[in-house]
């Protein structure tokens, strides 16, 4: 800020702040003839309203009468350049960050100032909020040192998420980002999806616990088809449902980059579970898939069994807590008889009973090409027949580890 005599040209940073009171006018950006040497971010959520903690679905209903609202990254007012007086080149980005914080009325994060030139930046649980996140995105646009960025649990909401997404479109050095537990909502999800269509350097992205719903599923699906660089994606602890399962099923069959995907703790069930499993059958890159705490049930498990017949790439599969009955476990077992790559299967905490566990273990024994190393039947009681089968396999499968919920010797399978 310039004190004393007012210069001929007054230069302000981009206006990204709007007062909570309705009668406060928004500051306007005064343009200078020459650009600043650093970049910055100006982001407003549609209508300049903060995202609703209960989810962004309410925003959709508030669209104009008779007109369905379409919100994407383009709906945010985003300006990635701070303009003003020419100043000496700021190699560290500290000056740019401090000016952005001053304009946004947030306190600079000292840890960020101290570690701007490190390869890894950890800013978990800092309470950045939307404004603090936007200020942070300003110097990150041109930062060439940071490769791994952890912004977990900062409640950045949709506006902050859009700022980070815009920054990642420009930054070609960051390869790992954790944005878990930030209440990004569906608007933030769509901004991230738009970023993935353009970013060619990001290899790992965690978006766990951000209240995503089926409203953003088409954007997420399209981004997975177009992006072949991203290898690890975490979408766990959201509210993705049946529609997302259907769309991601199609996307998985076309994706050529992901090696690890987590959809744990969502609401994928019914037809969505079936189509997701079908997509897995056509994927030739995915190595690790976590579908725990969803609702595959019998039909989803049956489709998964068929997928395991066709897929010879997947190595780790977690389908625990999915309401899979004994019939579903038998279908999965049939797929395992032909599978040559699965090394770890977690099917624990499902009502598959001892007969389901026995069928899965037997399919491993009957597959001469099986590479199974870990079978997890946690919290499922097995009988003596299961124990006998496992004991007989220890010589031919010396590395196989089997976990279960204990033995119940009250009944045995009648052998003929």
Rounded Cα distance between 86 and 37, Å, is 7
The answer to the question of residue 190 being in a domain is: yes
Encoded tokens for 324? 């899979």
Is residue 175 within 8 A of residue 143, CB to CB? The reply is no
**What is the strand order of the sheet 288-290 is part of?**
120-122, 148-150, 176-178, 204-206, 232-234, 260-262, 288-290, 316-318, 344-346, 374-377, 401-404
* pLDDT value of position 90: 72
> What is the C-alpha to C-alpha distance for residues 394 and 389, in angstroms, rounded to an integer?
9
pLDDT in tens, 223-237: 999 999 999 999 999
Please tell me the distance from the alpha carbon of residue 300 to that of residue 36, in angstroms, as a whole number: 56
| Model pLDDT, residue 87 | 53
Domain of residue 349 covers 115-404
What H or E segment, with its residue span, contains residue 80? strand 79-83
* 57-70 pLDDT tens trace: 444 443 333 344 44
- Domain for residue 147, yes or no? yes
Asked whether residue 71 is assigned to any structural domain, the reply reads: no
Q: Does residue 350 lie within any of the structural domains?
A: yes
pLDDT at 409: 58
- What pLDDT shows up at residue 292? 98
The answer as to whether 52 is a domain residue is no
Say what the pLDDT of residue 25 is. 36
Helix 270-282 and helix 297-310, axial crossing angle in degrees, nearest 10: 10
Number of domains in the chain: 1
All residues at 6 or more sequence positions from 153 whose CB lies less than 8 Å from its CB, including other chains: 124, 125, 180, 181, 182
Q: What is the pLDDT of residue 220?
A: 97
Asked if residue 58 is part of any domain, the answer here is no
Classify residue 393: in a domain, yes or no.
yes
pLDDT at 48: 41
**How many Cβ atoms from other residues are within 10 Å of residue 86's Cβ?**
11
In this prediction the pTM is 0.81
Sign of CA dihedral 65, 67, 73, 75: negative
- In whole angstroms, give the CA distance from residue 317 to residue 291: 8
388 CB burial (10 A radius; 0-12, 13-18, 19+): middle
DSSP code of 248?
Answer: H
Residue 210 is part of a domain; what is its CATH number?
3.80.10.10
Distances (CA, A) of 309 to 241, 269, 292, 313: 26, 21, 20, 11
Q: What is the DSSP string of 137-172?
A: HHHHTT--S--EEE--S---HHHHHHHHHHHHHH-S
Which residues of the chain carry a pLDDT beneath 70? Answer: 1-89, 409-416
Helix (H, G, I), strand (E, B) or coil at 3: coil
Whether residue 368 is contained in a domain is answered as yes
Element (H, E) at 329: helix 326-336
Q: Decide if 275 contacts 250 (C-beta within 8 A).
A: yes
Q: Can you tell me whether residue 290 is helix, strand or coil? A: strand
């Amino acid at each position: 800020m310039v004190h004393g005599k007012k210069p001929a040209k007054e230069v302000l940073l981009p206006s990204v702040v709007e007062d909570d009171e309705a009668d406060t006018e928004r500051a306007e950006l005064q343009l200078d003839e020459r650009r600043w040497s650093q970049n910055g971010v100006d982001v407003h959520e549609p209508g300049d309203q903060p995202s609703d903690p209960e989810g962004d679905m309410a925003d959709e209903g508030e669209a104009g009468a008779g007109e369905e609202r379409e919100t994407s990254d383009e709906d945010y007012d985003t300006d990635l350049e701070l303009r003003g007086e020419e100043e000496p080149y700021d190699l560290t980005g500290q000056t740019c960050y401090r000016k952005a914080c001053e304009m946004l009325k947030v306190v600079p994060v000292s840890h960020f100032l101290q570690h701007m030139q490190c390869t890894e930046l950890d800013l978990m649980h800092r309470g950045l909020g939307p404004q603090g996140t936007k200020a942070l995105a300003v110097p990150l646009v041109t930062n060439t040192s940071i490769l791994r960025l952890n912004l977990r649990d900062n409640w950045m909401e949709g506006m902050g998420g859009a700022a980070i997404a815009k920054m990642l479109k420009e930054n070609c050095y960051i390869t790992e980002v954790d944005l878990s537990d930030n209440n990004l909502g569906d608007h933030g999800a769509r901004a991230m999806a738009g970023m993935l269509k353009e970013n060619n350097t990001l290899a790992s992205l965690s978006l766990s616990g951000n209240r995503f719903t089926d409203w953003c599923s088409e954007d997420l699906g399209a981004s997975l088809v177009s992006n072949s660089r991203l290898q690890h994606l975490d979408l766990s602890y959201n509210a993705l449902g049946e529609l997302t399962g259907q769309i991601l099923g199609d996307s998985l069959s076309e994706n050529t980059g992901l090696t690890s995907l987590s959809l744990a703790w969502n609401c994928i069930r019914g037809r969505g579970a079936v189509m997701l499993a079908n997509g897995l059958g056509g994927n030739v890159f995915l190595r690790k898939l976590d579908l725990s705490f969803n609702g595959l049930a019998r039909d989803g498990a049956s489709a998964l069994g068929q997928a395991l017949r066709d897929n010879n790439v997947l190595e780790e599969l977690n389908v625990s807590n999915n309401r899979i009955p004994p019939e579903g476990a038998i279908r999965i077992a049939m797929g395992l008889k032909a599978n040559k790559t699965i090394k770890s299967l977690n099917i624990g905490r499902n009502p598959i009973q001892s007969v389901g566990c026995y069928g899965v273990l037997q399919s491993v024994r009957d597959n001469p090409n099986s590479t199974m190393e870990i079978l997890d039947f946690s919290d499922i009681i097995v009988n003596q027949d299961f124990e006998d089968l496992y004991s007989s396999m220890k010589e031919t499968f010396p590395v196989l580890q089997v976990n279960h919920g204990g033995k119940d010797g009250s009944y045995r399978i009648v052998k003929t």
